[in-house]
Structure formats: C-alpha cells, structure tokens
Chain A
Amino acid sequence: SAVISQKPSRDICQRGTSLTIQCQVDSQVTMMFWYRQQPGQSLTLIATANQGSEATYESGFVIDKFPISRPNLTFSTLTVSNMSPEDSSIYLCSVETGKDGYTFGSGTRLTVV
C-alpha cells in the first residue's frame, strides 16, 4: 500500500495566523482526502483534492478557511487559515489504495493558542 509522509507532525500556533500542512505520497494517486479529528472524536472529511481541479469541500468547510493545493499526483497541501482555538485538532491526509482501503498519513497535531 501507499506510504504517506505528512508534516509537520505537530505545531503550536498563534490565533489569527495560518499553517500549511504537507502530504507526500510515494506513488501517484488520483484523489487525496483531508480529514480533521477533534479531541475524542472521529474523523470528519474536510475535502477531496484532485490534481488539476479545485478541491471539493464537505458541508461546513469552505475554501477560504481551508485552501488546498494539489499540484501533482503525489503531493497536496492543506492550509488552516486565520486560526482560532476551535481549529485545534489533528489533521490527516489519506489516499485510496485500491481494494486495500485507505491509507493515512501520520497526522498533524495542531494547537492554537
């Protein structure tokens, strides 16, 4: 299955600033998915990123707050903009690995102070 390198692994940020999270996959994939996992909660899909087109956002998530780039088939970034303490969460990228399901990056633990 695919191997995903995600960074940073954690960060502490001031409110009002932005953080960009990167995911690099060791193989070409059509779609990459970005999830948020708030403390004690399950994973919530933020958006689906296709190469060469705008990301598709789920209800409750908007591009201005979570802009996504997908410049090629192995890389994507998610930016958390104008952060507030409510954005403190773990952010995960994921790719589909055929019949074996979906593989996740190691996650970015974000704390906004």
Chain B
Amino acid sequence: QKEVEQNSGPLSVPEGAIASLNCTYSDRGSQSFFWYRQYSGKSPELIMFIYSNGDKEDGRFTAQLNKASQYVSLLIRDSQPSDSATYLCAVNEWGDDKIIFGKGTRLHILP
C-alpha cells in the first residue's frame, strides 16, 4: 500500500516567518512530487512540483526533495495570512498516471 504521510497540524506560524511543511512517502518508485494548497470549501490548486533531488524555488515557495530519505518539504518564506490553508503533498510513480495524496497539513498564519 503506497502511503503519503503528513502531520495534520494545525501548524501556527507568525506572519513574516518561514513555514515549513513536511511529507514522507513509502514508495521508492515515486518520481514526481507535488504540493497543493486547498482553501476551505475550494478545490486544490497546484503550487509546486519537483522531480529531482535538491531545492526548487518559485517566489516565496521552496520545495525540497530527498529521495534517499523519501522526504519532501515545502518552505514558505515571509508567510502571509493569505497562506493560511491546508497543504496537500502528492506523489506519483514514473509511468503511473494517478497520484496519491497525503491527508494534508493545516497551516495557520498568525497576524
């Protein structure tokens, strides 16, 4: 059974600080890794994807992947109240079209 694990939170972070969200996965064959943001009552929206070990930066967001440790993380710099949402980690295996989601981490940015 392929699993994606996330701390459910809530994770509370002061405005302006760095929010760090973590995710581990069980399937060593996983090749693609995604971070989705989901506001309450809305559908998930993709904010980052990463395929290679190391860091990938996009604006205030940085995704970090360590395949040896089966670990992927998302850093949000200069956190804003609008970043308050549930963040879903998702992975898929090379050649497999479906993706498996973690249960999500609720992030709360404190004004």
Contacts and interface: CB of A to CB of B under 8 A. Distances in A.
Contacts of A41: 103
Interface of B: 32, 34, 41-46, 49, 88, 90, 97-104
B98 A33 contact: yes
A89 interface: no
Contacts, number: 41
Interface stretch (A14-22, A67-75, A76-84, A100-108): A100-108
A31 interface: yes
B34 A102 contact: yes
Interface residues of A, number: 20
A12 interface: no
A92 interface: yes
Given A92-B43, A106-B43, A107-B43, A101 B101 contact: no
Interface in A38-57: 41-45, 48
B49 A48 contact: no
Nearest to B86: A42
Nearest to A47: B98
Given A33-B98, A48-B98, A107-B43, 6 more contacts: A42-B102, A42-B103, A44-B101, A96-B97, A101-B46, A102-B34
Contacts of A101: 32, 34, 46, 49
A92 B42 CA distance: 10
Nearest to A30: B97
Nearest to B8: A40
